[in-house]
Structure 1
Amino acid sequence: MSDTDHVPRYPNDAVAHTNKSSDEAARRWRVAIEIGDQGSGTEKTSVKTVSAEKIESGEDFAIETLIDDRVLAIFRHAGKWYAIDGMCSHQGGPLAEGVVRDGCVTCPWHGWQYDLATGIQMINRQPLQESFPIRQIENRVEVSLH
């Protein structure tokens, strides 16, 4: 089956499939987090600020942010960055407020669990949460939505 023949089977499958392109030049990266002094960001931007000390401590954390009218949950877990749709596909719970363990986030509302890297729901193994490419370049963490 070619990319043009892809038939979406699950709610987020259509967008997730097209967003997995390996063509870096075609990606549009958006700054989601700036690493620096707390309070260095402005109130007029949705870019969140995280202290360099928090990153260096190795502490796991999650941040909810808005990029292009999309709510995203961005996780720092086990030294890696992850970005997934911030609203649980079950009933819209805030995934950034969920508990993260072993590469999986548990929605705080009803306990649905998703793999951070793929968005796959852990019980039925279906790709229900859209996941996004994410990278850190110097003091910026960027997400590609398209």
Structure 2
Amino acid sequence: MEATSNRPLTAEEFGRLRVRRFDPATFRWEGIPDQVYQGPEEPAPRFRDVIRRTLVPGGATPAAFEVRYFEVGPGGYSRFELHQHIHAVLVLRGEGEVQVGGEVYRVRPFDLVYIPPETPHQFRHRGAPGDEPFGFLCVVDAQRDRPRPLD
């Protein structure tokens, strides 16, 4: 998975289309760029093979939320972190596991995950090389605190 940018669409870019078509063959939405998962200051060992696509950018609409799609490749995992805000996560493809606090849950398409405030969490792909990516929608507050990585 190769991310090309760390910038979601601007309000102007987002507002150009009312409908963004989904292509099931590529699992992408029209005009939504891949983004790097974390910035260049992040040490690479804390995560592996994760991309982000911001579907509804915070600040680009009057909404108080942001909708993002994350995709984790085989053997990949997100950073183990916590925040002050909640996460509402809907799995769309592949199989994975999510650690929420001290519990680990296996998840598959259409499972819904709630991550409370100040709760450590991480997403991991459960499959083997060549398997479908583990992809999920994540809804968070548009105005939110920065993630705090845990070791």
TM-score under structure 2 length normalisation? 0.27
* Structure with greater strand share of residues: 2
TM-score under structure 1 length normalisation? 0.28
